[in-house]
């Protein structure tokens, strides 16, 4: 594979979409012209897809073997020869937030564990999705098994344990992150960053001080050239690998998921577009309201593209337009879905789930099962339309990469608001590849090579950010930049050989 060719191939697809975003949202462009460009865009994407397919198998094999390597390394780290003397990182699942946010907390802990080559111990004793009444019989059951009493694992109600032989957080010495740091070696080799302490307790990411360079959106230096070559969003794929390891459903959850898969006839229904409508407590605090019609525009866009692809292959069959709907607002099912059903769309999903998902009824084991179901089903769809301001949707998108570890699924989403981010991440930067002279007051100047801190994509051809050279804040054409992907050493991947 030639890196230049691979990057250009992906940039072409990106730029075709940016061009479409620009035309679609420019008010002065007549609808007749928009329809023309839309068809042309889909036709371009079809040919790009064929170019994509030339080396697809080869790329898939390489990405799959990278995934196998990572899974094997994590498995070894999590199953040390002797748990009594293993160096450990302890992650406590008590963050006062929702499921997506908690899983991201655990993922960040795992990143630290991989970077420093320490076994991750999960303390889920006080997991809020399992309430007090549900907890006591479970504690009885778990404490009669081989569980360590200090970390008694509510986690195992939903997921397999993170280790087969090391769940115990005890050790001969223990301290919190800050006190474990050897400042002389900080930001050198991750293994040297810590004094000789066996067990380190982690705070939440937002209050981690000092902050090492391997925090999101950084990817491991050791695998970075391989990963950048093979995937359009290397960090998202990497987090997907972490999720693949940590989120292995327990027997009960697996059974529940299988029953629901059958009930929804998921396997027979593809292609499916997944929609996540996040409302209740999120609206006007962290996100704006979006009607179902707004989501449906992008559902249509997906199916229109698919139909054009089929026509170019001389296939005239009409694809059924199937949508998996996940939401925390049950009124979407009652008030907004019927209008689209009457237009021929089929909605699958469980309107009852949204009742347990609403803000007042969120924290119980039933609601935990339901959010796992929604996240799982969204990640198994062919395309997701959602708001990346929600951790639920970002989680589903990350898991989508893990479900198909060999396939680059980085483009299979549309977010109505934010670009992808990891809560508490280090700054997300881009590099200007073309100069830009502002055409309006709201735009900023770019000189090739400038570093730009990106804040968002307005999905109209423009992104918003700060030019770190001039400190100017404002809009710039997205196609004039490329991602600046940060890398740092991860002890666990030191032995990686391409």
Give the footprint of ligand GDP on this chain (CB under 6 A).
Answer: 97-101, 276, 278, 282, 326-328, 353, 357, 362, 367, 370-371, 374, 390-392
User: How far apart are the C-alpha atoms of 184 and 186, rounded to whole Å?
Assistant: 6
Using the minimum distance from each CB to ligand GDP, give the nearer residue, 230 or 353: 353
Q: Name the minimum Å distance from CB 391 to ligand GDP.
A: 4
Three-class secondary structure of residue 281 per DSSP: helix
User: How far apart are the C-alpha atoms of 472 and 455, rounded to whole Å?
Assistant: 13
Using the minimum distance from each CB to ligand GDP, give the nearer residue, 101 or 433: 101
Render 72-132 in DSSP notation, one character per residue.
HHHHHHHS-S-TTT--EEEEE---SS-HHHHHHHHHHHHHHHHHHT-EEEEE-TT-TTS-H
User: How far apart are the C-alpha atoms of 108 and 388, rounded to whole Å?
Assistant: 18
Q: Name the minimum Å distance from CB 175 to ligand GDP.
A: 29
383: its two tokens? 């395309």
Using the minimum distance from each CB to ligand GDP, give the nearer residue, 193 or 391: 391
Strand partners of residue 194 = 181
Q: Name the minimum Å distance from CB 454 to ligand GDP.
A: 20
Strand-pair category, 481-483 with 429-432: antiparallel
User: How far apart are the C-alpha atoms of 330 and 280, rounded to whole Å?
Assistant: 10
235: its two tokens? 């960090």
Using the minimum distance from each CB to ligand GDP, give the nearer residue, 337 or 371: 371
The packing angle between helices 221-230 and 56-78, to 10°, is: 150
Using the minimum distance from each CB to ligand GDP, give the nearer residue, 56 or 352: 352
191: its two tokens? 């293994």
Q: Name the minimum Å distance from CB 325 to ligand GDP.
A: 8
Using the minimum distance from each CB to ligand GDP, give the nearer residue, 25 or 280: 280
Using the minimum distance from each CB to ligand GDP, give the nearer residue, 20 or 420: 420
Q: Name the minimum Å distance from CB 349 to ligand GDP.
A: 9
162: its two tokens? 């993170």
Residue whose Cβ sits closest to ligand GDP: 98
User: How far apart are the C-alpha atoms of 33 and 345, rounded to whole Å?
Assistant: 27
User: How far apart are the C-alpha atoms of 123 and 339, rounded to whole Å?
Assistant: 46
Q: Name the minimum Å distance from CB 478 to ligand GDP.
A: 24
Q: Name the minimum Å distance from CB 371 to ligand GDP.
A: 4
Cβ-proximal residues to 25 (8 Å cutoff; 6+ apart), any chain:
459, 460, 461
């Amino acid at each position: 594979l030639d890196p230049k060719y691979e990057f250009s191939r992906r940039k072409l697809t990106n730029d075709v979409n940016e061009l479409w975003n620009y035309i679609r949202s420019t008010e002065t462009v007549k609808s007749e012209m928009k329809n023309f460009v839309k068809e042309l865009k889909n036709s371009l994407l079809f040919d790009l897809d064929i170019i994509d397919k030339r080396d697809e198998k080869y790329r898939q094999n390489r990405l799959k073997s990278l995934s196998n390597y990572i899974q094997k390394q994590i498995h070894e780290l999590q199953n040390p020869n002797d748990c009594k003397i293993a160096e450990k990182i302890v992650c406590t699942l008590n963050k006062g937030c929702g499921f997506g946010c908690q899983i991201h907390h655990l993922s960040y802990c795992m990143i630290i564990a991989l970077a420093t080559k320490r076994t991750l111990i999960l303390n889920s004793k006080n997991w809020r999705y399992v309430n007090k009444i549900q907890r006591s019989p479970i504690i009885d059951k778990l404490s009669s098994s081989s569980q360590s009493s200090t970390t008694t694992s509510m986690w195992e109600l939903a997921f397999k344990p993170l280790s087969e032989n090391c769940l115990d957080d005890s050790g001969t010495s223990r301290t919190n992150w800050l006190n474990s740091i050897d400042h002389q070696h900080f930001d050198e080799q991750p293994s040297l960053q810590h004094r000789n302490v066996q067990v380190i307790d982690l705070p939440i990411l937002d209050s981690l001080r000092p902050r090492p360079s391997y925090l999101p959106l950084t990817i491991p230096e050791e695998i970075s050239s391989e990963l950048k070559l093979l995937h359009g969003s290397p960090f998202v794929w990497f987090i997907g690998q972490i999720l693949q390891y940590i989120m292995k459903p327990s027997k009960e959850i697996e059974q529940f998921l299988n029953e629901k898969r059958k009930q929804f006839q998921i396997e027979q229904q593809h292609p499916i577009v997944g929609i996540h409508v996040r409302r209740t407590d999120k609206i006007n605090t962290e996100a704006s309201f979006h009607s179902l019609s707004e989501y449906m525009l992008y559902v249509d866009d997906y199916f229109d593209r698919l139909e054009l692809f089929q026509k170019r292959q001389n296939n005239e069959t009409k694809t059924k337009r199937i949508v998996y709907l996940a939401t925390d607002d049950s009124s979407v099912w009652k008030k907004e879905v019927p209008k689209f059903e009457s237009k021929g769309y089929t909605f699958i999903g469980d309107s009852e789930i949204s009742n347990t998902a609403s803000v007042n009824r969120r924290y119980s084991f039933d609601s935990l099962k339901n959010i796992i179901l929604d996240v799982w089903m969204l990640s198994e769809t062919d395309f997701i339309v959602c708001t990346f301001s929600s951790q639920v949707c970002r989680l589903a998108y990350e898991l989508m990469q893990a479900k198909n570890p060999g396939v680059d699924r980085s483009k299979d989403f549309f977010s109505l608001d934010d670009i992808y981010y990891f809560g508490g991440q280090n700054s997300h930067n881009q590099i200007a590849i073309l100069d830009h002279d502002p055409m309006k007051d709201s735009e900023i100047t770019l000189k090739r090579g400038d570093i730009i801190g990106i804040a968002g994509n307005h999905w109209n051809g423009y992104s918003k950010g700060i030019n770190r050279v001039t400190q100017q804040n404002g809009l710039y054409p997205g196609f004039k930049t490329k991602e600046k992907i940060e890398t740092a050493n991860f002890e666990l991947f030191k032995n990686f050989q391409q």
